[in-house]
Structure 1
Amino acid sequence: MKKGQISNLLRRFGLMYLTDWVRFYMQAYQNRKSNQEFKKAYPQIPLPPDYLIYESFQIDYQKYYFGGQETAKWLTDHLQRHVDLSDKKILDWGCGPGRIIRHLPEIMNHICEFFGTDYNKKSIEWCTRHLPGIHFNHNSLSAQLPYQNHFFDVIYGISIFTHLSEPLHHEWFAELYRVLKPGGILFLTTQGNNFKSKLTQPELANFEAGKLVVRGQVKEGHRTFSAFQPAGFMHRLFAPAEILEHLEPLPQPGKGIPQDIWIIKKQ
């Protein structure tokens, strides 16, 4: 039986959350030694509670902090091909416990203004207390942000659409597009062709037909809620914008399955 079939069975019988908590405790146990060593080596680095780290990534302090730093540099490199990152307003949509945004002010030499928003209230509370100089906002799952039209120069969302239903794909894209300036850049990642091996046969048939594939039956937005986005669906979603790049990175050993990268420009 494929993992996708097992996942769907767990959802059907209401066991997905229990399975996810078991995975959380297993990761915490497996990484306890290396995490203790990290805290001893870097006592000055504030770390979110373990479950907040796990919900957004893994309970691995090294990967959370230095992996987040690496991702922030990777993001900056992609953005610099399309926008001058000087005196810009930049939004991290779905910032979680600040894994990426905490590094951006230093990487960009403190010449931009940074904002983070997330539906997880505890993550936003932690970020507000521990990451000064960044504006944080707690949003709901509903596509409503407290920013005026044409406010941001750059918006990025790393693996956020991957946890939303089809209606919220459309509603959130419209809201992000509203607060993005004309000529502004939107950077998003999705679960594209690299994830086809995870799909069941019925899911794969829908994916190949250009339909969004959603595994729900859990709280939307949670890490266990999963959506897979074929390129055709994303092209239709981004119809009002100009697609500057669509990248399908090749898998690398030990790196996990890479998500598609979409870089679009508001007309």
Structure 2
Amino acid sequence: MTKGQISNILRKIRLIYLADWAHFYVERYKNQKNNLAFKKNNPDVKLPPDYLIYESFQIDYTKYYTESINTAKWVADYFSKYLDLKDKKILDWGCGPGRVIRHLPNVVGNECKYYGTDYNRQSIDWCSKNLPGISFNCNTLDAKLPYPDDTFDAIYGISIFTHLSEQLHYDWYTELHRILKPNGILFLTTQGDNFKVKLIPSEVARYDANELIIRDKVKEGHRMFSAFHPTEFMKKLFHNAEILEHYAEPIPETGNWIPQDVWIIRKK
């Protein structure tokens, strides 16, 4: 039995949350030694509660903090190809407990202004108290943000569409497009062709027919709510924008990491 089949069974019998909590405790135990060493070697680094780190990423302090500096550079490098990152407004859509946005002021600087928004109130409360110099907002799953039209020069969302229903793909894209300035850049990652290895045969057939695949039976937005994104579906979603780049990094030969697709679009 494949992991995809097991996942679908656990969703049907409503045990997926229990399985995820068990996984959290296993991962926390596995990383305990390294995480204690990180805290000892980095006493000044502020860290969110363990579950907030796990829910948004991996419960590994080095990956959450140190390696995420490289993620911030990665995002900034993509933006720099199409924008002069000076005196710009940048939004992290789905910022979680600040894994990436906390590093951008040091990575980019240049008098830019930084914003983060997320539906998890605990994450936003932690960020607001611990990450100064960044404006944070707690949104809901409904696609409504408190920013005027044409506010941001750059918006990024790392693995956010991966946890939304099909309707919210359309709703949230419309909202992000609204608050993005003309010629502004939107950076998004999705679970594209690389993730077909996680799908069961019936899902693969629908995916190959350009249907968005949704694994739900959990609260929308939760890490166990999963969406898988055919290329043609995404092109249809971005119908009113210019697609500047679509990059699918090959799956590494070693390790368990599967890279998500990168989409870079420009508002016309």
TM bucket (normalised to shorter chain) is over 0.9
Q: 1:56 maps to what in 2?
A: 56
Give the partner amino acid of 1:150: D
Q: Distance in 1 between matches of 2:251 and 2:77?
A: 19
Q: Which residue of 2 aligns with 1:234?
A: 234
* Other structure's SS at 1:150 match: coil
Mapping for residues 1-267 of structure 1, pairs under 5 Å: 1-252=1-252, 253-254=254-255, 256-267=257-268
Which letter does structure 2 place at the counterpart of 1:171?
Answer: D
Partners of 1:185 and 1:266 in 2: CA distance: 7
Runs (4+) of structure 1 moved beyond 2 Å? 252-255
The whole-number CA distance in structure 2 between the counterparts of 1:174 and 1:27 is 37
Q: Tell me the CA shift for residue 9 of structure 1.
A: 0.2
Q: Distance in 2 between matches of 1:4 and 1:60?
A: 25
Question: SS in structure 1 opposite 2:202?
Answer: helix
Whole-Å separation in 2 of the counterparts to 1:211 and 1:85: 36
Q: Write the letter of the residue equivalent to 1:254.
A: G
- Measure, in 2, the Cα distance between the counterparts of 1:51 and 1:225: 17
The alpha carbon displacement at 1:2 in A equals: 1.1
- Following TM superposition, by how much is the alpha carbon of 1:153 offset from its aligned partner in structure 2, in angstroms? 0.4
TM-score (norm 1): 0.99
Aligned residue for 1:186, secondary structure, equals strand
1:169 to 1:81, Cα distance in 2 relative to 1, 3 A:
same
Please say which of residues 244-253 and 100-109 is displaced more in the overlay: 244-253
Which residue type is aligned with residue 263 of structure 1? I
Describe the superposition over 1:2-59 as per-residue Cα deviations: whole angstroms up to 9, x where unpaired. Answer: 1111100000000000000000000110111110010010000000000000001111
For 1:159, what is the secondary structure of its paired residue?
coil
Cα deviation, residue 109, structure 1? 2.3
One-letter amino acid matched to 2:56? S
Q: Give the AA of the match of 2:94.
A: G
In the TM superposition, what whole-angstrom CA distance separates every residue of 1:208-231 from its partner, at most 9, and x where no partner exists? 000100000000000000000000
How far 1:110 sits from its partner (Å)?
A: 4.7
What is the distance in 1 between the residues matched to 2:240 and 2:72?
28
Could you tell me how far apart the structure 1 residues matched to 2:96 and 2:25 are? 20
Segment drifting more, 224-233 vs 64-73: 64-73
Aligned residues: 267
SS of residue matched to 2:26? helix
TM-score, structure 2 normalization: 0.98
Q: CA deviation at 1:61?
A: 0.3
Please tell me whether the aligned partners of residues 86 and 110 of structure 2 are also in contact (alpha carbons under 8 angstroms).
no
1:79 Cα deviation (Å)?
1.2
Letter in 1 for 2:106: E
Q: Quick one: which amino acid aligns to residue 153 of structure 2?
A: D
**Cα distance in 2, alignment partners of residues 109 and 155 from structure 1:** 16
| Aligned mates of 2:123, 2:216 — CA distance in 1 | 23
Any unmatched runs of 5+ in structure 2? none
**Within 1, Cα distance between the matches of 2:155 and 2:256?**
25
SS at match of 1:251: coil
